[in-house]
């Protein structure tokens, strides 16, 4: 289940983060940029969860936990 960590992100930003997280899963990186500030995304995995977020603090991010 993927959740928005921040209530302030839009559906478009949410989809962008989902696409970026898929890129990280497939390629280990993404060429996509944050639509809000233009920064790169970073991706963390931790056991059954992962987080994809903008490198800018308190910008946009999503977290996925388990299956
Ligand atoms: Zn950003």
Residues with CB under 5 A from ligand 1 (ion): 34, 36-37, 39, 54, 56, 59
Q: How many whole angstroms separate alpha carbon 7 and alpha carbon 48?
A: 23
Q: How many whole angstroms separate alpha carbon 61 and alpha carbon 34?
A: 10
Instruction: Name the H helices within 1-67.
Output: 11-27
Per-domain residue ranges for the chain?
2-65
pTM for this model (two decimals): 0.84
Distance 58 CA to ligand 1 centre (A): 8
pLDDT value for 27: 97
**Cα–Cα distance list, 17 to 25, 28, 31 (Å):** 12, 14, 12
Distance 17 CA to ligand 1 centre (A): 11
Q: How many whole angstroms separate alpha carbon 47 and alpha carbon 31?
A: 25
Q: What is the mean pLDDT of each run of 10 residues along the chain (67 residues)?
A: 72 94 96 97 91 94 80
**Strands 49-54 and 41-46, sheet pairing:** antiparallel
Distance 22 CA to ligand 1 centre (A): 18
């Amino acid at each position: 289940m993927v959740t928005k960590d921040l209530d302030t992100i839009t559906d478009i930003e949410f989809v962008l983060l989902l696409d970026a997280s898929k890129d990280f899963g497939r390629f280990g990186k993404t060429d996509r940029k944050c639509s809000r500030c233009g920064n790169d995304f970073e991706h963390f995995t931790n056991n059954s969860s992962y987080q994809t977020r903008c490198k800018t603090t308190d910008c946009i991010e999503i977290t996925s936990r388990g299956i």
